[in-house]
Amino acid sequence: MAIPLSKICELTCFENIRLVAGNDSVIHKNVTGVTIVEAPDIAEWIKGGELLLTSLYNFHSDYERQKEMVTKLAEKGAAGLIVKISRFVKDVPEVIIETGNRFGLPIFELPGDVKYIDILYPVMCELFNRQVTILEHYKKCHSKFIDLSLNEGTLEDILKELSNIIRQPVMLLNHDYKIINASSSQNVSAIQPAEKMNHLESSSSLDFYRQKIGLAKDGVIVDADMIITPLIILDYIKVYLAIESSNRPLSELDYVAIETAVSNISLSLVKQKAIQEIEYRFKNDIIDDLIQGRYVSENDIEARAKAVGWDLNQSLVVILVQLRHIGPGKDFLEEKNVFRRKESISRILMVINNTASHYIKNPIIISKSDRFIILFPTKEIHSNSIKRFSDELHSNIKLQISNVSTCIGIGTESKKISEVKKSYIEANDAASFGKMVYGDDVVIEYDQLGVYRLLCQFQDPEDLKRFIHPALLKLYKYDTDKNNDLITTLEVYLSNNANAKKSAEELFIHYKTVQYRINRIKEIMGIEFEDKIFKLEIEMGLKIINLLKHKSIK
């Protein structure tokens, strides 16, 4: 328990004590104890914050040892040095004054007729009284927060109580600096850091930082000075307790109240998380039974869904978000750290909920291992909104979650509960086959797969290669050897019904360039494209090549 040195200097016993060095440092020093020193090696035995009294009895004429002592006391964080004069020294030695000024250690001159006890007792009494005050304040705060817990007080109640005690606005932020709860009902819609954290020295067991933060109030960003302390709950939930400190600096009693509140905030968050986990498992079980068709009747599954606020009696489309990577070359399922994996799941769920809230009121979303299942209602929105939502979600995950790529599959519309299973299977096929055809990072609808739904059933690539026309394989080999891209020109040409002009526009090249390339393709393949059956074989072969483009075709 510390008292500012400036407060100690206001005591009656300091009336005749003169400050002779380190004047500017007094306001920055805190006193934790007071003791007598008559040996120059006292610096080896102090912890910092001590106010020391000495007559220089053992070394009053050894100026080098005096200089060394003051230097070491400053290094160890002593609060100040009081030198008693008249008996062994007439004045405070100049070397002590110079060294005190150089290292910012306050040096006081004590008249010879003042007894040590006249200084020791009042200072110790002040320290003890301070300790009693802090302990009483802790007891009062502890009692208030315990009463809140016993009366099922919410996080908001705890923050309001803390705000009343320290007379400063308080808020709880998530790891992205979004407000979870706040003591004030002001309309603060967003929050963002305006500068890096600066660590603050305090006697608390918590880490405190000062940080300037931009608060968005009614669309206007206002900079606010904040005292921040990070809280780690269950080893993976990271939140920040933020206290606005624009009005006045926080006192030691304020820090006691904050430390007491943190314990209750942590307990409240753990309780909240436990309830969420139970609700989360219950919801997961409902959707799992729904997509697997494991329910007694439609009325039964519908009633279970209503209990958690879900309406299954409407047209729904299943959207499957498949996580592919959590880091470079590292699959999500390979992440061994359970807490880090849970944190990633929570963050992605937050992105999904935030994105979905712009389209629908009550999204049905669950997570299963490395995938997230969304039941998207279609009655309130245009059919194009589902694809638009999926594209936006894909983009948001990419922007907000680093080292995570996603493959999003979209099923067809289910008009009744029994059809949701079919929509889920389609969304799963779209995500799985879409990955094979287009790669890890893609959004694809089931209907968009077309013939790929059939081709993807082949497990062995060699079986697929047998369906590629030899003339097309010849062109593929030519492209590979010459580092050309005639295959793409052929694919665009056929998709435009052999229209060279449209193909040129799509490829952003001249019409005659397309004609030249097509003639060259015909020469290499040794065929014409007039035969409809042959054209179909080539188109099918191109799709197979697309499917196997990441593999070697010889």
299: domain CATH number is 3.30.70.270
> Using CA atoms, how far apart are residues 100 and 82, in angstroms rounded to an integer?
11
> Using CA atoms, how far apart are residues 253 and 143, in angstroms rounded to an integer?
15
Question: Residue 139 falls within a domain, yes or no?
Answer: no
For residue 310, how many other CB atoms are within 10 A of its CB?
A: 18
Verify that 100 and 157 share a domain, yes or no: no
Question: Residue 147 falls within a domain, yes or no?
Answer: no
> Using CA atoms, how far apart are residues 484 and 475, in angstroms rounded to an integer?
10
Question: Residue 199 falls within a domain, yes or no?
Answer: yes
Is pLDDT of 453 > 50?
yes
Verify that 121 and 16 share a domain, yes or no: yes
Verify that 402 and 485 share a domain, yes or no: no
Tens digit of pLDDT for each residue in 356-378? 988 888 889 988 877 899 999 98
Q: Report, in this order, helix, strand and coil percent for the chain, each rounded to 5.
A: 50, 20, 30
Q: Are 404 and 309 in contact (CB under 8 A)?
A: no
Burial label for 449, CB within 10 Å (0-12, 13-18, 19+), is buried
**Residue 205 tokens, joined:** 């067991």
In this prediction, residues 469-495 reach a mean pLDDT of: 86
Is pLDDT of 124 > 90?
yes
* Mean pLDDT of the chain, nearest integer: 84
Residue where a domain stops, chosen among 386, 421, 454:
454
Question: Residue 45 falls within a domain, yes or no?
Answer: yes
Which residues, including other chains, have CB under 8 Å from residue 402's CB and lie 6 or more apart? none
Closest CA to 323 of 253, 385, 393: 393
> Using CA atoms, how far apart are residues 536 and 543, in angstroms rounded to an integer?
11
Residue where a domain stops, chosen among 406, 423, 454:
454
> Using CA atoms, how far apart are residues 100 and 29, in angstroms rounded to an integer?
13
Question: Residue 328 falls within a domain, yes or no?
Answer: yes
Question: Residue 299 falls within a domain, yes or no?
Answer: yes
Verify that 425 and 465 share a domain, yes or no: no
Verify that 449 and 319 share a domain, yes or no: yes
**Which is more confident, 480 or 306?**
306
Q: What is the CATH number of the domain that holds 107?
A: 3.40.1390.20
Per-residue model confidence (pLDDT) at position 484: 83
Instruction: Map 350-403 to HEC letters.
Output: HHHHHHHCCCCCCCEEEEECCEEEEEEECCCCCCHHHHHHHHHHHHHHHHHCCC
Tens digit of pLDDT for each residue in 55-93? 988 888 888 999 999 999 999 999 999 999 987 888 999
Tens digit of pLDDT for each residue in 128-170? 988 898 889 989 999 999 998 888 888 889 999 999 999 888 9
Q: Count of domains in the chain?
A: 4
Is pLDDT of 551 > 50?
no
Verify that 478 and 439 share a domain, yes or no: no
Verify that 310 and 406 share a domain, yes or no: yes
Residue where a domain stops, chosen among 273, 303, 319:
273
Q: What is the CATH number of the domain that holds 474?
A: 1.10.10.2840
Q: How confident is the model at residue 553 (pLDDT cuts 50, 70, 90)?
A: very low
Per-residue model confidence (pLDDT) at position 545: 81
Residue linked to tokens 């106010």: 51
Verify that 490 and 398 share a domain, yes or no: no
pTM of the predicted model as reported, rounded to 2 decimal places: 0.59
Tens digit of pLDDT for each residue in 406-428? 899 999 999 999 999 999 989 98
Verify that 448 and 465 share a domain, yes or no: no
Q: How confident is the model at residue 204 (pLDDT cuts 50, 70, 90)?
A: low
Strand-strand pairing, 330-331 and 405-414 = unpaired
Question: Residue 286 falls within a domain, yes or no?
Answer: no
> Using CA atoms, how far apart are residues 105 and 26, in angstroms rounded to an integer?
8
Question: Residue 114 falls within a domain, yes or no?
Answer: yes
Verify that 470 and 449 share a domain, yes or no: no
Verify that 58 and 172 share a domain, yes or no: no
> Using CA atoms, how far apart are residues 437 and 110, in angstroms rounded to an integer?
87
User: What residue numbers bound the domain in which 329 lies?
Assistant: 293-454
How large is the C-alpha radius of gyration of the chain?
37
Closest CA to 548 of 418, 455, 430: 455
Is pLDDT of 41 > 70?
yes
Verify that 331 and 436 share a domain, yes or no: yes
